[in-house]
Amino acid sequence: MPEETTQRRRRAPAMSPEDRREAIVAATVPLLFTHGANVTTSQIAKAAGIAEGTVFRAFKDKPELIRTCVQSVLAVNSELELIEQARQANTLAERLSWAISAVSGYLDRMWKLISVLRDSGYDPHDGHDGHDKQREHKGPPVEMQRITEHVASLFGPDDDLRVDPSLAARLLLGLVFTNRMQGEGFGDSTADADQLVELFLHGVLRGKQ
């Protein structure tokens, strides 16, 4: 059996450098949510099923690997795909509820990772190339801009909006953002996606009976 296993390994095609990096990132991200920046390269190698030295052949050092993982977690491609899929819903309320679910999941994922990293003493800006350029950027992060544009596209010409779609999307995302805030000073109650859409479209006052 050991000889057969060795032969299979020899016949297995070698990973490209990019595929190897992606595999290491995929193995590291769950560890970051648990250990933050305190995760060790030994833990990473074990999770990825590789030798520890392979980590350093794929990445210059652990900080570079962590930065790459953070970028992976903050990427919004999957959320944008979900928002695009919301177009198939029949009503505006259904489309917006679909989008809210996608955005809420993104915010929860982003905030959880940032919290764990900060608790482990990691500053994502330390040692970043182009850090000054990032600080010069004004306005919301590019990821949130892309999300806003996609949410705005869910409003159709027949929806009879009182404001333009871009502003409507920003107002909706503002509700989503504050709705996900929890902890001291924010309270414990939150609205689900359907409730949030109802509040957004019709306000907090009950209609007259």
- For residue 198, count other CB atoms closer than 10 A to its CB: 16
Both 157 and 188 in one domain: the answer is: yes
Both 48 and 85 in one domain: the answer is: no
Report the CATH number that the domain containing residue 35 is assigned in CATH: 1.10.357.10
Note the pLDDT tens digit of each residue in 24-41.
999 999 999 999 999 999
Both 90 and 114 in one domain: the answer is: yes
pLDDT average, residue stretch 77-87: 95
Read off the tokens for 37: 């920046």
Pick the last residue of a domain from 40, 74, 108.
Answer: 74
pLDDT at 14: 74
Both 128 and 163 in one domain: the answer is: yes
Both 188 and 110 in one domain: the answer is: yes
Pick the last residue of a domain from 54, 74, 94.
Answer: 74
- The tally of domains found in the chain comes to 2
Pick the last residue of a domain from 58, 74, 90.
Answer: 74
What torsion, rounded to 10 degrees, do the Cα atoms 157, 159, 163, 169 define? -90
Q: Write the Ramachandran bin of 127: left for phi over 0, alpha for psi from -120 to 50, otherwise beta.
A: left
> Is residue 157's pLDDT more than 60?
yes
Q: pLDDT-derived band of residue 209, with 50, 70 and 90 as boundaries? A: very low
> Is residue 94's pLDDT more than 70?
yes
| Domain assignment of residue 56, given as a range | 1-74
Both 70 and 102 in one domain: the answer is: no
Stronger pLDDT, 92 or 134, i.e. the higher one: 92
